[in-house]
Chain A
Amino acid sequence: MLQPEHHHDDSPPVVGILAEFDGPVTLKAAATGLRQVGYAKFEAYSPYPVHGLYEVMGRKRTTLPRLVLAGGITGCLVALLLQWWTNAIDYPYWISGKPLFSLPANIPITFELLILLGALAAFGGVMVFCNLPQLYHPIFGCVKFRQSSTDTFFLAVDADDPRFDETATADLLRSLGAESSELYRQPRTVKRIPGMIPATAALVAALALLPPLWIAQVRYARKTSPRIHPILDMDFQPKYLPQQYSPLFKDTRDMRPRVAGAVSVDAIIGHVHLLRGEVDSPPADTFPMPVTSEMMLRGRRRYDIFCTTCHGLAGDGDGITSQLAFEREEPKWVKPLSLHDQPVLGQPVGQLYQTITHGIRTMPSYRSQIPVEDRWAIVLYVRALQRSRNATMDDVPGELKKHLKSIEQSDAGIPNAKP
């Protein structure tokens, strides 16, 4: 209780005077008195709120209500914008025939966000305005002050108030009704943050860099290991999809191959021309379908996919595969036939069809890769390719003939032009 009046130079500095009062009424009166005398830097402490105390101390009313209003308005606008942008613009939901942005259904969330942001503003505001959390304060060094949260009322005058004087202020407080008043000093505590803490923080920060580095590595690397999906949900369902594994069958295929020896019904009941390329057993000389320019185009496209690899774009037997095979001196490789050579030129279309279907010599069957109609289309295109090498002017349609002639004439006008 008693503090020696003389103190050594190494004793901690005086923070202020703490005066005790017996109740809210005397506390309020004393605060009024202090303010009238001209003190500005003092604080009143009470175990429960004393109405009007803050006002008599001459402090400004808090702006918390306005902050909360701002929070509420922000919440309201954020919610409306969010719902409008997400559900009407970015991912339009068409719900029970209502307009994409239908206000009545947006009200509940707007309201909740209004309240939420308002409440967060109120709580955050009181923390900021009260300067909380503020775990250390010199006044916590006074033993008596511990009573302030139970039943005792205090006034604390700061030593850095210009009017502060150790004896005069104490006298004043006593005259204002203080039951007792004492000087209180800065408690002796550690002021600097202990070095261990920043060191630990630095270590943790360094360690915290590892996970992002690892993620970055994974992100940009090729991974042969299976994908990392911690939760598979229904990624893999117990159902059979094409070309998947099934333990049911010996060959582990879930797609069943055609039973050996099975014959297509079509082949039995007709369509011999179409499917086998035959008319009354010899290879057909005609197409089983009307020949159109679409079919020709289709044939060209299919030819480019399936035939050019060996037979070459123009049918000369110089496809890329063949070229590479010769480059590498593949022993078993036989140059593919040129489609412009005699045996092929003379074959009826039915036979060409059969060749595609069944293969011939080293050429494999393309039955599984090319559907029937496409095979005929390819045959047609092959015919066109063959014809192109042996065409006469009579083959050219009327319109184009004129055009060709005009080219011929202009070519003739050029001295060096060779026909």
Chain B
Amino acid sequence: MSILPLDDNMTQEPTRRARLVVGPADAASITETVCAITERPRPPAAWYAAFAMSAAATGMLFAAIGYLIATGVGVLGNNSPVFWAWPIVNFVFWIGIGHAGTLISAILFLFRQRWRTGINRFAEAMTVFAVACAGIFPAVHVGRVWVVYWLAPYPNQMGVWPNFRSPLLWDVVAISTYGTVSVLFWYLGMIPDLATLRDRAISWWRRIVYGLFALGWRGSAAQWHRFEWAYLLLAALATPLVLSVHSVVSFDFAVSQLPGWHSTIFPPYFVAGAIFSGCAMVVTLAVPARSLFGLKSLITMRHLDNMNRLILGTSLLVAYAYLIELFMAWYGGNQYEAFAQLNRALGPYAWAYWLMVACNVLAPQLFWFPKCRTTPWLMWVIAVLVNVGMWLERFVIIVASLGRDFLPSSWGMFRPTAVDVMMLAGSFGLFCTLFLLFCRYLPMVAMAEVKGVVPPHLGSNGVQ
């Protein structure tokens, strides 16, 4: 059998496994590739441009929040009957984005998918930042942001406790747990790489800063042994956690009796949708990041191909849920439910519905073709479309159902205000800002993990 060329790992031959890293795969060059990004004095010019834009958008986000807090929730478009609108759409959207990180870092880890090592670090970072963005929306839309701590169960001088049977409180607990565990997982995995940055540091401040965060990691056998167990256990805990988080988000809707919301398939359907949108966001970020930072040897075309397959698969799962909901709306014989589904497709928000179907169901079907799975610009476009589609999905579920419920006399439309739009755009700014800072200052690829799954550890020339 022939040895695969060093720069190609797209083999589909069943007789061999594709390389995880193309080009030189020794530990030194992997370290060099990843560390050089943070060590060079200046990032690429594109980084500055992107940072300036996203920082400006972040500023806009905080300005909008400041205005919202100073003036009151009346500045949002939420109003009778669509009381839950834009902020919740954005919340569900962002928390969904976060799910791919845990999928890649925890679930694929449990499934021994070694290719995950190329992208898990920045998918995890994406999770943390997306959860941060998601958390903003429910917090600021409550009206009195300053008493948001009332959601926490602490002994207080009012003598009351939160209502633990409310899905909204489950949300609070689930999201904060998810945020905490994601950060722990991300940070734990990063400790050995931070130690690498510390050891390579030339300036004293880099040694001190990276040294502090590396916690004095030495890579001794005892440390690695416990590290691996902790990592495995965290993965085992994060896997059901990620399922539970979006399930809990879906409970917000599904425990109610509103047509279009009350459907038993919501939990797995929301989880699938979340992973779907998250994977699309990974591709959206990975395509530019790998070329901008010279990571094509570590985040290979194979990685993107795999991610696109995941997008296709989860797209089909989401399509399955759409189909079953439609079927059951008819089969169940509940006229309100049937109307809710019809209203989505033919009502005033039909544009959103059909755009959603086009983006979530039709566009990913292009990934059946290998050419589409491996053409960066094309997959980037599809991934962006999926992100748009998944945002619209939440919009359709929330706004279309609330706008037209049981009583025709209480029907109404939702129109976003400028503050709404600024907050959505600003949340992208915050997300990108955090991500750009991460790219600049932290190891974007899990070096120690990649080294552990490529030769010489596996004892054969770059193939495993």
Q: Which residues of A contact B227 (CB under 8 A)?
A: 49, 126, 130
Per the bound structure, the CA–CA distance linking A120 and B251 in Å amounts to 26
CB neighbours of A147 from chain B (8 A): 199
Give Cα A149–Cα B221 distance, bound, in whole angstroms.
13
Q: Are A129 and B163 in contact, with the CB atoms below 8 A?
A: no
CA of A235 to CA of B223 in the docked complex: distance in angstroms?
56
Q: Is the CB of A45 within 8 A of B215?
A: no
- Least distance between A161 CB and chain B CB atoms (Å): 15
Say yes or no: B215 contacts A134, CB within 8 Å: yes
Report yes or no: B199 in contact with A93, Cβ–Cβ below 8 A: no
Which chain A residues in 353-393 approach chain B with CB under 8 Å?
none
A-B interface pairs (CB < 8 A), number: 206
- Residue B451 at the A interface, CB < 8 A? yes
Contacts of B218 in A (CB 8 A): 45, 137, 139-140, 148
Question: What is the bound-complex CA distance between A90 and B192, given in angstroms?
Answer: 47
Q: Which residues of B contact A (CB under 8 A)?
A: 26-28, 31, 144, 146-147, 153, 159-167, 169-170, 173-174, 177, 180-181, 184-185, 188, 191-192, 195-196, 198-200, 211-212, 215-230, 233-234, 237-238, 240-241, 244, 248, 251, 448-449, 451-452, 456-457, 459
By a CB distance below 8 angstroms, the chain B residues around A48 are 27, 192, 224, 448-449, 451-452, 457
| Shortest CB distance B209–A (Å) | 12
Nearest-neighbor residue (CB-CB) of B450 within chain A: A48
CA distance A93 to B162 in the complex (A): 10
Contact B222 A68 (CB under 8 A): no
Closest to A156 in B: B220
- What separation, in Å, do the CA atoms of A125 and B188 have in the docked complex? 12
Instruction: Report the bound CA distance from A255 to B212 in whole Å.
Output: 67
Q: Out of B224, B230, B459, which one reaches A123, CB within 8 Å? A: B230
* Minimum CB distance partner of B194 in chain A: A149
Q: Are A132 and B215 in contact (CB under 8 A)?
A: yes
- Give 6 nearest A-B pairs by CB, closest first: A151-B27, A86-B161, A126-B230, A133-B215, A105-B165, A48-B452
Q: List, in ascending order, chain B residues with CB within 8 A of A118's CB.
A: 233, 237
**Looking across the interface, which residue of chain B has its beta carbon closest to that of A49?**
B224
Q: For the complex, what is the distance from the CA of A127 to the CA of B459, rounded to whole Å?
A: 32
Judge whether A115 and B177 touch: CB under 8 Å: yes
A-B contact pairs, 19 of them (CB 8 A): A31-B221, A45-B219, A46-B219, A48-B451, A48-B452, A49-B452, A87-B165, A102-B165, A112-B173, A112-B244, A119-B234, A122-B234, A130-B226, A133-B215, A135-B216, A136-B216, A137-B218, A146-B199, A150-B28
| Contact, CB under 8 Å: A115 / B229 | no
A135–B218 Cα distance when bound, in Å, is 10
Asked whether, in the complex, the Cβ of B228 is within 8 Å of the Cβ of A59, the reply is: no
Determine whether the beta carbon of A53 is less than 8 Å from that of B221: yes
Tell me the complex Cα distance, A233–B248, Å.
Answer: 30
> Would you call A12 an interface residue if the criterion is a C-beta within 8 Å of the partner chain's C-beta atoms?
no
B226 neighbours in A (Cβ, 8 Å):
62, 64, 125-126, 129-130
Nearest chain B CB to A13 CB, angstrom units:
20
Q: Chain A's nearest CB lies how many Å from the CB of B167?
A: 8
Given A49-B452, A91-B160, CB of A134 within 8 Å of CB of B216 = yes
| Alpha-carbon distance between A62 and B232 when the two chains are bound, in angstroms | 13
A24 CA / B248 CA spacing, docked (Å):
45
In contact, A106 and B165 (Cβ under 8 angstroms): yes
**Are B188 and A108 interface neighbours, CB within 8 A?**
no
- The yes or no answer to A324 lying at the interface (CB within 8 A) is no
Contacting B at CB under 8 A, from A142-187, are: 145-151
Once the chains bind, are A93 and B163 in contact (CB under 8 Å)?
A: yes
Question: A43 CA to B162 CA in the complex, in Å?
Answer: 51
Does B244 lie within 8 Å of A111, measured CB to CB? Answer: yes
Nearest-neighbour CB distance to chain B for A49, whole angstroms, equals 4
Residue with the highest number of chain B CB atoms closer than 10 Å, among A45, A54, A130: A130
- Determine the distance from Cα of A87 to Cα of B165 in the docked complex, in whole angstroms: 9
- In the complex, chain B residues whose CB is within 8 Å of the CB of A83: 164
Among candidates A31, A68, A91, A233, residue contacting B237 with C-beta atoms closer than 8 Å = A68
Residues B237 and A150 in contact, CB atoms below 8 Å apart: no
- Give A1-40 interface residues, CB cut-off 8 Å to B: 23-25, 31
| Pairwise interchain contact B220-A44, C-beta atoms closer than 8 A | yes
Residues of B within 8 A of A50 (CB): 221, 224, 457
Give every chain A residue within 8 A of B163 (Cβ-Cβ).
87, 93, 95
Q: Is the CB of A45 within 8 A of B456?
A: no
Q: Mark A74-95, 1 if CB is under 8 A from B, else 0.
A: 0000000011001100110101
- Beyond contacts A87-B163, A113-B177: 16 other A-B pairs, Cβ-Cβ < 8 A, are A43-B222, A48-B192, A49-B224, A53-B221, A87-B164, A91-B159, A95-B165, A105-B164, A112-B241, A115-B237, A118-B237, A119-B185, A119-B237, A132-B223, A150-B27, A151-B451
How far is A98 from B165 in the complex, measured between Cα atoms in Å?
Answer: 10
- A354 to chain B minimum Cβ distance, whole angstroms, is 52
CB contacts (< 8 Å) of B230 on chain A: these are: 64, 122-123, 125-126
Q: Which residues of B contact A233 (CB under 8 A)?
A: 144, 147
Interface size on A, residues (CB 8 A): 68
| Residues of A that sit less than 8 Å from B by CB | 23-25, 31, 43-50, 53-54, 57, 59, 61-62, 64-65, 68, 72, 82-83, 86-87, 90-91, 93, 95, 98, 102, 105-106, 108-109, 111-113, 115-116, 118-120, 122-123, 125-127, 129-130, 132-137, 139-140, 145-151, 231, 233
Indicate whether A115 sits within 8 Å of B240 (C-beta atoms), given known contacts A90-B161, A93-B163: yes
A112–B220 touching, CB < 8 Å: no
Q: Verify A126–B188 contact, CB threshold 8 A.
A: yes
Q: Which of A23, A24, A46, A126 has the most CB of B within 10 A?
A: A126
A139 to B451, CA, bound (A): 23
In the assembled complex, the CB of B166 is this many whole angstroms from the nearest CB of chain A, namely 8
Partner of B161, one of A87, A105, A146: A87
Q: For A62, list chain B residues within 8 Å (CB).
A: 225-226, 229
If the complex has contacts A122-B233, A150-B199, are A115 and B31 also in contact, measured as CB distance less than 8 A? Answer: no
Residues of A within 8 A of B224 (CB): 46, 48-50, 53-54
Query: Using Cβ atoms and an 8 Å threshold, which residues of chain B touch A65?
Result: 229, 233
Residues of A within 8 A of B159 (CB): 91
Which residues of A have CB within 8 Å of B229? 62, 64-65, 126
Chain B residues lying within 8 Å of A23, measured Cβ to Cβ, are 456
Q: How far is the CB of B171 from chain A (nearest CB, A)?
A: 9
Which of A46, A123, A130, A133 is B184 in contact with, Cβ under 8 Å? A123
Among A23, A31, A111, A112, find the residue whose CB has the most chain B CB atoms closer than 10 A: A112
Complex contacts, A150 vs chain B, CB 8 Å: 27-28, 31, 196, 199-200
Task: Report whether A44 and B164 are in contact in the complex, using a CB–CB cutoff of 8 Å.
Answer: no
Distance in angstroms from A261 CB to nearest chain B CB is: 46
The residue of chain B having its C-beta at the shortest distance from the C-beta of A31 within the complex is B221
CB closest chain-A residue, reference B225:
A54
CB pair A47 B219 closer than 8 Å? yes
Q: Considering only CB atoms, which chain B residue lies closest to A96 in the complex? A: B165
Which chain A residue shows the least CB distance to B167?
A: A108
In Å, the complex CA distance between A123 and B229 comes to: 10
Q: Is the CB of A231 within 8 A of B147?
A: yes
Q: Which of A108, A122, A130 contacts B251 (CB 8 A)?
A: A108
A112 with B200, Cβ < 8 A, contacts A47-B27, A49-B228, A65-B229 known: no
Q: Report the Cα distance A25→B458, complex, angstroms.
A: 10
**Which chain A residue shows the least CB distance to B193?**
A149
Contacts of B459 in A (CB 8 A): 25
Shortest distance from the beta carbon of A269 to any chain B beta carbon, whole Å: 46
Give the docked Cα–Cα distance between A65 and B235 (Å).
12
Whether the Cβ atoms of A151 and B234 lie closer than 8 Å is no
Nearest opposing residue in chain B for A114, CB measure? B237
Q: A68 near B147 (CB under 8 angstroms)? A: no
Chain B residues with CB below 8 A from A57, complex form: 221
